[in-house]
Amino acid sequence: MRLFEPLQLGPLTLPNRVLMAPLTRCRAKQPGNIPWELNAQYYAQRSSAGLIFSEATQICPEGQGYLWTPGMYGAEQVDGWRLVTDAVHAAGGRIHAQLWHVGRISHRSLQPGNIEPVSCCDIASKSKCFAYDAHGNPNHVDCDTPRALTSAEIPEVIAQYASAARIAKEAGFDGVQVHGANGYLPDQFLSSVINTRTDDWGGSVVKRAKFLLDATRACISVWGAQRVGVRLSPTSDSSGMQGNTQWREQHLEVARQLQHEGVSYVDLLSHSQAAGKSGFEEEFLREFRSIFHGVLMLSGGMTRDMSESHIRNGLCDAAVFGRAFISNPDLPMRLLHNVPLTDADPTTFYGGFERGYTDYARAT
């Protein structure tokens, strides 16, 4: 099967094309949002993936939108991530860090000084984030109205991507992925619906792409383009950004610019396919590929047969699996031998300890 042929990803040779999606699990050590032994064990269990993408990891305290997610900005986090990368490498795996800034998908209780979160605009998301409620209990709460970053502040946020990329290098990752999907800060800038800016960072497809591109360039300055990739969710209506009629031209412009920068890969996530509906149109994927010549990964409801057929038909080079990797630590072997998959328990997705995290069994 093509799914089990090696794939060259920059300097990395991936032994298969079954990749583990970034999965927020809200299990970093507290206080401090520090990765620890439990996280190392979880990732090591999944090291037969062609490549692991770490859970989304905030580049700075302001970039956090959910409780107990790990950070990539402090010395203790370097040591914590080192436990993870060492465990994955010792088990024969490879791991990229997903770098995250949530922008407006946050709440004052998570922000330094309890001030409002930042975004490209001052329009509140109608979605929820996972933070402390008015009684101080962990809960799904309405996101707070953000403050629009000034033009002068944006380069400071971009610099935080560079600094997180440096920390990821120090911590032993094999590369980094810029989280440009799912309605978080770079995706907020990409949105014609909420990016109402009239400065260099909004107003046209090129200007709306500038934040994501500058964040990506910041990572390239640390890692080189061959160890940097980007995740996008072009058709998603994440977090109250419904109605972006320009999604297609916007993301093809991003493809052009990422090709120009020579980034190693793009992962395109389809939320509708993850929800059991149809995924990207073939025509869009072919157009994207005709512009972007790096490795193309597809995410969202991928199955063994769909992945194999998409790779065979040239629609992608690798498939990214999310929920299946939560409950099947040995997913590549199971797909190869058609072993039935264990279903994931959504009630243990976010927060907690071993249960629903490191206690899913391998197939015998």
Selected binder of ligand FMN within 16, 24, 33, 77 (CB under 6 A)? 24
Q: Which of 22/117 has CB closer to ligand FMN?
A: 22
Selected binder of ligand FMN within 217, 231, 310, 334 (CB under 6 A)? 231
Q: Measured between alpha carbons, how far is 314 from 296 in angstroms, rounded to an integer?
A: 10
Residue type, 193: V
* Host H or E run for residue 57: strand 52-58
* Triad 334, 335, 337: Cα angle to 5°: 65
Q: Measured between alpha carbons, how far is 193 from 245 in angstroms, rounded to an integer?
A: 9
- Pair of tokens at residue 37: 């032994």
Q: Does 321 bind ligand FMN (CB under 6 A)?
A: yes
Spatial neighbors of 184 by CB under 8 A, at least 6 apart, are 56, 65, 100, 101, 102, 103, 105, 239
Q: Which of 28/324 has CB closer to ligand FMN?
A: 324
Q: Measured between alpha carbons, how far is 207 from 189 in angstroms, rounded to an integer?
A: 9
Q: Does 298 bind ligand FMN (CB under 6 A)?
A: no
Q: Measured between alpha carbons, how far is 96 from 88 in angstroms, rounded to an integer?
A: 11
Q: Does 23 bind ligand FMN (CB under 6 A)?
A: yes
Q: Does 307 bind ligand FMN (CB under 6 A)?
A: no
Distance from the Cα of residue 218 to its chain's centroid:
17
Identified catalytic residue from 43, 161, 184, 357: 184
Closest to 227 in 3D by CA, of 270, 302, 290, 166: 166
Q: From the CB of 98, what's the least distance to ligand FMN, in Å?
A: 6
Selected binder of ligand FMN within 98, 111, 239, 328 (CB under 6 A)? 98
Q: How many residues bind ligand FMN (CB under 6 A)?
A: 22
Selected binder of ligand FMN within 3, 14, 16, 22 (CB under 6 A)? 22
Q: Which of 148/232 has CB closer to ligand FMN?
A: 232
Q: Select from 20-28, 86-94, 200-208, 220-228 the region that touches ligand FMN (CB under 6 A).
A: 20-28
Selected binder of ligand FMN within 28, 49, 55, 250 (CB under 6 A)? 55
Per-residue x/- mask for ligand FMN, residues 181 to 210, rule CB under 6 A?
Answer: xx----------------------------
Q: Does 266 bind ligand FMN (CB under 6 A)?
A: no
- Pair of tokens at residue 18: 């079954």
- Pair of tokens at residue 329: 């630590």
Whether 184 is catalytic: yes
- 31: preceding bond cis by omega (within 30 degrees): yes
Q: Does 157 bind ligand FMN (CB under 6 A)?
A: no
For 70-80, letters b (16+ CB in 10 Å) and e give bbbbeeebbeb
- Pair of tokens at residue 324: 């299946």
Q: Which of 45/182 has CB closer to ligand FMN?
A: 182
Q: Which residues are catalytic?
A: 184
* Site for ligand FMN, rule CB under 6 A: 21-24, 55-56, 98, 179, 181-182, 231, 269, 274, 299-302, 321-324, 349
